[in-house]
A and B are shown apart, each in its own frame.
Chain A
Amino acid sequence: MSATSAHINEHRDDTASKLGMWLFIFTELMLFGGLFITYSVYRYSHSGAFHLAAQELDVTMGTINTVILLISSMTLAMSTTAIQKKDKRTTLILIGITLVLALVFLVNKYFEWSAKIGHGIWPGSPLLEELGRGDTLFFGLYFFMTGLHAVHIIVGMVILIVVFVFVWKDKLTFDNFQLLENGGLYWHLVDLIWIFLFPLFYLIT
């Protein structure tokens, strides 16, 4: 062991921390990758039903949510610039905007799901049973994949709230902000997944 550690109470390795975050992100990519493959295979084997079912989804709502997530990714990316410029106020404002946008995304999702459920479409609903296997698969995957994505949004929000408090209390500063960076990586991953969910479910009919 090296006996030359001048900073006794500082045991941190930002690169290792980032590496760990990336490894976790890779497992997430594999998780959603598997679901995308499942979706593609069923789309291939039930193309007629998937074509009709996909037209049921609200493209406008999907587009609005895409724009919201893209903007939230930018504001959070900007916060890493702000903290490095020692601008705490701007950093907090940018994380705050990201959190508000995340909430707006979830509210939109709530209305979207409510509309579907209002039309008698939910996993295992009698209407879906009537419509047949293709529709059941499409909406089953729709609810599961957008639902799992929404769970990631909620987890991302919890992480960002923690980051917000840490910046507020000066635990994260211009020369020690790896947690903000890692939280950002997670948030951009959530954005990345949506970038593929959006065309696959809403656009391609």
Chain B
Amino acid sequence: MSDTSHHIVPYSTYGLILLLLLVLTGTSVAVTQIELTKWSTAVALLLAGTKSAFVLAIFMHLKFDQKIFRIMAVLIILLLASVIIITFLDYAFR
């Protein structure tokens, strides 16, 4: 493996990730169409979170880019998550 300054991602990696994303999509459709009510929301969002992690890491090249991009992305996601959590704490306890 000769890794130069720019990493060329092979086509097969992208193909594999698409396959994974399609399987996860199928799973989330199946899970929510079967009546599971209480857990289906959590499962669907968990699957969506997993899918977006793959898109961010591979399609958006975060896995291959300089560390600073990963750090920034994680911080923004944490910021967004904390805003969501705070909003829900507010609604749950008012």
Contacts and interface: CB of A to CB of B under 8 A. Distances in A.
14 contacts: A22-B73, A26-B76, A33-B80, A36-B84, A66-B25, A67-B25, A73-B59, A74-B15, A74-B18, A81-B8, A188-B60, A192-B52, A198-B48, A199-B48
A3 interface: no
Interface string B52-76: 1001101111000110110011001
Interface of A: 15, 18-19, 22, 26, 29-30, 33, 36-37, 40-41, 44-45, 59, 63, 66-67, 70-71, 73-74, 76-78, 80-81, 84-85, 181, 184-185, 188-189, 191-192, 195-196, 198-199, 203-205
Nearest to A32: B80
B72 A204 contact: no
Contacts of A45: 91
A183 B44 CA distance: 28
A63 B26 CA distance: 8
A29 to B, nearest CB: 6
A24 to B, nearest CB: 12
Contacts of A77: 9, 14, 58-59
Nearest to B6: A84
A74 B41 CA distance: 27
A193 to B, nearest CB: 9
B2 interface: no
B52 A70 contact: no
Contact of A204 (B15, B44, B51): B44
A71 B15 CA distance: 9
A37 B83 contact: yes
